[in-house]
Amino acid sequence: MRVKSVRSWQPSVLSNGRRTGSDLAQEQATGMTRLATEGTREGVRLGTFRYMQPSAESSLYRNGKVLSRRDRDGSDSGLLGVDLEECEMAILDARTVTQDEQPTLAANGFELLERPTASPDLDFLDHDAVTRAYYPECAEIVRAATGAATVAAFDHNIRSATGKSGKRRIAGGQQVQGPAHLVHGDYTLTSAPQRLRDLTRPPTSNDTYRTVLAEGETLLDAAAVEQAITDGRFALINVWRNIAREPVATRPLALCDGMSVRPEELVVFEIHYSDRIGENYFAKHDARHRWVYWSAMTRDEALLIKQWDSAGELARSEGTRGDPDGVDQPCTFSFHSAFEDPATPPNAPDRWSIEVRCAALYA
């Protein structure tokens, strides 16, 4: 694995469409609001990310060159074509910026909300408790944040390095997964609408939401889904939460501003399940990428991560154009990855987190 260091940032920006007093002069000149995130400012630190090698063939659609086979426990085996390099990038701690400067789900692809769970003692390692009690909570969080007409939660993962190494299993569910130390987005031009269509059919044995539906029942209405795909708008959004009692101190999650990504940096990663083929986008490195995280995330906070938005320019143009930088319109998705924080104390508690995937249909 090749290691690339990107230690000195050129001044870069995180654009969120909000006005800030310090940038009024530039806003008047450029018609957009910009938040400076230079490498010397308070709250910026270095972290290492795993990207695909520059020699990897860029791809918007499946080509059988980069793939994995995934078992029912969610574990990968038989990797093909996954050739990685490590790149050190500057990461902005969003705790250090003002409320007006905070990233937004719409423009940047991620947003942190104060949303305590309805049941403080919910057992996140109980599959049935999560699907019956927590899925509806996540759907409501996404509905309130987006204004979507219909939102349904349909999948989740629990992640912990010690849980993974100890082969910890969710009661009634799959094994605990480790934090994903790899720059990726969860869906592609192909797999985003396909996953939505999957939810209009009765669930299979791999679907976590199957236990909350009656036999033959479907999660989403087929006609509504087709309308959203062909002539409307849909989104796939993750609700990420720390489920430990202590704030996150190890392997924090970082998010890449969706407006700093270009189509030529994408590489399709195929995930071969027993009953279907899913797809992610991996990324090739570019110094333009703008990374953000929130330090010490707590159990009372919900991080929304946009995995796909059909209203984004990259999605609408089928990858012929990227999402324009600094323009007040939705981005398509946000890359994300865990990273090793050099400031983490050696005795810091392990990270335990849950991510719940939600499908949103707009009116």
Write the pLDDT tens digit of every residue in 270-327: 999 877 889 999 999 999 999 999 999 999 999 999 999 999 999 999 999 999 998 8
**Percent helix, percent strand, percent coil in the chain, to nearest 5:** 20, 30, 50
The confidence score (pLDDT) of residue 363 equals 87
Residue showing tokens 């996540």: 138
d(CA 275, CA 229): 23
Cα–Cα distance, 251 to 254 (Å, whole number): 9
**pLDDT computed for residue 41 by the predictor:** 60
DSSP-assigned states of every residue in 78-94: EEES--EEEEEEEEEEG
- pLDDT at residue 20 tops 70: no
Confidence of residue 350 (pLDDT cuts 50, 70, 90): very high
Contact residues for 61 (Cβ-Cβ < 8 A; gap 6+):
188, 189, 190, 268
pLDDT in tens, 228-259: 999 999 999 999 999 999 999 999 999 999 99
Task: Report the C-alpha gap between 133 and 140 in whole angstroms.
Answer: 12
The DSSP-derived string for 107-136 is TTSEEEEE---SSTT--TTBHHHIIIIIHH
d(CA 299, CA 147): 24
Mean pLDDT to the nearest integer, 82-90: 96
Q: Where exactly are the structural domains of the chain?
A: 2-361
Measure Cα distances from 241 to 117, 205, 299, 307, 344 in Å.
Answer: 10, 25, 6, 16, 19
Q: Give the position of tokens 């849980």.
A: 163
Whether 1 shows a pLDDT value over 70: the answer reads: no
Quote the CA–CA distance of 192 and 236 in Å, as a whole number.
8
Q: Is the pLDDT of residue 9 over 90?
A: no
For tokens 């003692």, the residue is 121
pTM of the model: 0.90
Amino acid identity, position 18: R
Rounded Cα–Cα distance for residues 130 and 165 (Å): 23
